[in-house]
Chain A
Amino acid sequence: MTQINIDDIKHIAIGASLLGAGGGGNPYVGTLMAISAVREKGPVQLIEPTDVPEDALVISASMVGAPAVSLEKFPNGNEYDKAFPLLEETYGQKAYATYPIEAGGINSMIPIMVAARRGLPLVDVDGMGRAFPELQMTTFAIAGHPVTPIVITDERGNNALVNTIDANWAEKIIRTITVKMGATSSVAGDAVHGKDLVANGVTGIISLSKQIGELIDSASDFETVDAALTQLLQITKGYKLFTGKITDINHTTKDGFNFGEVTIEGFGTFEQSFGSVSFQNENIIFKVNDQVLATAPDLITLVDVDTLIPVTNEELRYGKRVNVLGLPANSKWRTEVGIATVGPRYFGYDIDYVPLEQLVEKYSKMGE
């Protein structure tokens, strides 16, 4: 068991941004919410999934809606003090702990606030190991856990207990209520039991985020940035896929989703090569000279070449120099159902999923 203090929150936010694979939005407001709660209530206990009794109930806390709106209208903080008891009542069981459903942006921070306010421990686990845009895109859901019941609330005290026949309906109904609540809402859901955490969750994600954040924060203390990057790749089991400068960004918003493509002109050992990242909120496909080097569910993430600070898709701009990193997805995504749920074909690309490690090996052999 470890404690999460103010500095840890800042580090977790940076690390989660990296694992957000371009998505998840700006963690600024979320970070301040978590810091405020911890300043008031004291540090949060971080526990291992194996510390949770088999039958204990663990509830996830998150926000749904437009990140740009939550920069202006953010929660009261007590939303979850209403949502948790309602969900607990449904299960007939008190929550033993809380956990984040994804890594990246505000949703890596909300559970820290909730843990501090409600005096619950935080479990070192999530349901993605990264960020994804839709409710059914969790390792719990693909293992057969229903996405509902979900309690959705707003700051006024309005709330709804939502039970749906499947995840798609949950997605539709939750989105509609969210719009009426002011384009953002607070939800408690993805309730699972202790035994499910290890079996179906992505374990160790908060401590990994923290480790990544600490490393990036101290990148300037290394002899060279490359030395820091090497260590970053070690702890994430990742690869540096490309280094270059952003030369074009093609951005559109369609049905509330942020679509686009980024062109990166290589430099250094990548001179004369062009990289391209296709994203739909999160980065989905990365190609070098039209050859696929990584696809979702593996993580494609951009970091600043000088500082290693993750670059989210809202911060993309011409001239920015980035390393493109590829991180292998959790093995729970690398299954038939995982790939069907979040693989390249789900996002509309005519590409078969091949694990990152194989694509990298194939590519490096071509160069020989």
Chain B
Amino acid sequence: MTYQIGIDVGGTNTDAVILDERRKVIAATKQHTTKDIQTGISNALHEVLNQSGVNPDYITDVMLGTTQATNAIVERKSLAKVGVIRLGYPATASIVPFTEWPSDMVSLLSGTYQLVHGGYEFDGNNISPIDYNEIRKVLKGWKGKVDSIAVVGVFSSLNPDQEESVKKLATEILGDVPISISSKIGSLGLIARENATILNASLYKVINKVAIGFDKALQDEGIKKCNKYLTQNDGTLMTLDYAKLYPILTIGSGPTNSIRGAAYLAKIRESLVLDIGGTTSDIGVLINGFPRESSLAVNVGGIQTNFRMPDILSVGLGGGSVVRQLSNGEVTVGPDSVGYNITQEALVFGGQTTTATDIAVAMGVAKVGDSKKVDGLDRTFVKKAFKKISEILEDAIDKMKTSAEKVDLVLVGGGAIIAPDYLKGVSHIFKNEQGGVANAIGATIAQIGGQYEKIYQYAQYKREEALRDTQKLAKKQAIQAGADPESVRLVDIEEMPLAYAPGETTKVKAKVVGDFMKK
């Protein structure tokens, strides 16, 4: 028998699970997330191995979902000095790199950039011919001044050739300086993709530290010959080596893991996932086994980016939400919460504050603490509050649905006990006892993914060929990230016509997944 371990680092807890070959959970733990992250990971790893008694030699894969990259950006720590080369001159000079970035980030990253000739038009023609001498001169001047390079070309998602050749040139001139190219990182929208690429380049020290720490934690537990993966924000895995190239893709993997783990437990591929915590509830949408992506720009540490993130709606309702009656008789629930103090402050635990959990106990839907402590609550007040809880959840569910039809809902999280058994717009509610470690399970069951986005003119390029081409490129990406070519399958293909553009110009986006290559 062989085993897999999944670890998910969250803001409060670091969770770990061990799954056997049949993907049955044989050990699970919740440890506190430590300030250095590393200790929490080691503790969780140690605990699941102890619980299960599994021989470390039979651990074949370890998957880690971590917040270290996010923390580094938010806390402005260990970030590298980045030199940005943008291919597009004479176009795009009206907005230079680092425009409207927080000034502390600009000075930490050195704010070095150069706009050079190159880049493509929407139809694949050159904006201006690329000038290698010009780029060579810039790179030579940056020797010793920057730690890493970000290369961003106009319409590089159409054709990554120029970015790739600048990468080669930079390696020739600067040696082993890490180089990030934008076509691998973001989608259409130059500024947001450039921002994501710069952040990626700034994170290489951070990701190296993660890799060393991860290796050491495994060594310490005697796990010597497993495959090591990090989870990405789109619910797929990348090998540790691939993650070293694209650390930015680890940002936001937590909610994705949670959504996928929850759905795995419920054994469904299409549903809403409701994760009720102590203070907030998060709702995500699972489509064909993967979370729906957000269409909005994602702001990371004050910087606008456009890389894919799960579409999550957060509302201020959790197990610890404070319940109040206003002078006009109206009852409110949240958004303030007693949070992790619930075990002291809630009525059922002998405290003085009426919380959403107390209401659920009084209604008989939850069984925690001492139910006698809520006997004294006014019945009308309790019913009003419970109705309010339903309304907040139903409202949030309704906002996330993609059609008027009823949907299935998977319920997870520590605060899930406050949810009513019936919710408007929901056909069936799935619950699971292991819902508390859904995120770590989500990390363990993740597959390798690939995604590609490209613009075609259907007037010149046949639609069928365009769709095939995008899929091929996405598959290539997945194989590069570590997927077994035989197992790669299409998850989603999307066409988006561009208004005011000629020749049926259409953006095509393909997403594929596959199993990871066995060693």
**CB within 8 Å of B: which residues of A?**
28-29, 32-33, 35-37, 65-69, 71-78, 113, 155-157, 179, 182-183, 245, 247, 252-253, 256-258, 281, 315, 317-321
Contacts and interface: CB of A to CB of B under 8 A. Distances in A.
B101 to A, nearest CB: 11
A322 to B, nearest CB: 12
Contact of B92 (A73, A157, A317, A319): A73
13 contacts: A33-B95, A35-B100, A66-B499, A66-B501, A71-B190, A72-B155, A74-B190, A182-B122, A183-B501, A183-B502, A252-B497, A256-B502, A258-B499
B121 interface: yes
Contacts of A74: 91-92, 94-95, 190
B15 to A, nearest CB: 31
B174 interface: no
A256 B499 contact: yes
Contact of A37 (B94, B295, B403): B94
B335 interface: no
B235 interface: no
A143 B93 CA distance: 37
A29 B191 contact: yes
B404 interface: yes
Contact of A247 (B93, B295, B404, B497): B404
Contacts of A256: 499-502
A197 B501 CA distance: 32
Most buried by A among B190, B297, B401: B190
B90 A69 contact: no
B500 A36 contact: no
Q: Is the interface of B mostly helix, strand, loop or mixed?
A: loop
Contacts of B302: none
Nearest to B397: A319
Contacts of A281: 499
Instruction: Identify the interface centre among B90, B94, B128, B501: most chain A CB within 10 Å of its CB.
Output: B94
Given A67-B500, A247-B404, A256-B499, A183 B505 contact: yes
B235 to A, nearest CB: 21
Given A73-B122, A247-B404, A253-B498, A68 B94 contact: no
Nearest to B500: A66
Contacts of B368: none
A318 B401 contact: yes
B189 A72 contact: yes
B294 to A, nearest CB: 11
Contacts of A73: 88, 91-92, 119, 121-122, 127, 154-155, 190
Contact of B99 (A35, A67, A76, A315): A35
Nearest to B398: A319
Interface string B39-52: 00000000000000
Given A73-B190, A76-B91, A76-B93, A257 B100 contact: no
B398 A68 contact: no
Interface string B110-123: 00000000010111
Given A35-B99, A319-B400, 4 more contacts: A66-B501, A76-B93, A155-B93, A183-B123
B190 to A, nearest CB: 5
A36 B99 contact: yes
Interface in B73-107: 88-96, 99-100
Contact of A182 (B96, B127, B507): B127
Given A66-B500, A182-B121, A77 B154 contact: no
A183 B121 contact: yes
Which 10 residue pairs of A and B lie closest in terms of their CB atoms, listed nearest first? A77-B94, A253-B497, A66-B501, A66-B500, A182-B121, A155-B91, A258-B499, A68-B498, A76-B93, A319-B399
Interface residues of B, number: 41
Contacts of B497: 252-253
B505 A156 contact: no
B352 interface: no
A317 B91 contact: no
B188 interface: yes
Contacts of B398: 245, 319
Contacts of A67: 499-500
Contacts of A179: 502
Contact of A69 (B96, B404, B498): B498
Interface string B474-513: 0000000000000000000000011111100101000000
B499 A29 contact: no
Contacts of B96: 36
Nearest to A245: B398
Given A73-B154, A73-B155, A32 B499 contact: no
B133 interface: no
Contacts of B460: none
A319 B401 contact: yes
A321 B99 CA distance: 32
Contacts of A72: 122, 154-155, 188-190
A137 to B, nearest CB: 15
Contact of B94 (A69, A76, A258, A319): A76
Nearest to B401: A319
B505 A66 contact: yes
B402 interface: yes
Given A32-B99, A256-B502, A257-B500, A318 B188 contact: no
A133 B211 CA distance: 53
B190 A68 contact: no
Most buried by B among A68, A155, A157: A68
A32 B95 contact: yes
Contact of B128 (A37, A156, A317): A156
A68 B157 CA distance: 14
Nearest to A77: B94
B400 A78 contact: no
A73 B94 CA distance: 11
Interface string B150-190: 00001100000000000000000000000000000000111
Contact of B127 (A36, A113, A155, A317): A155
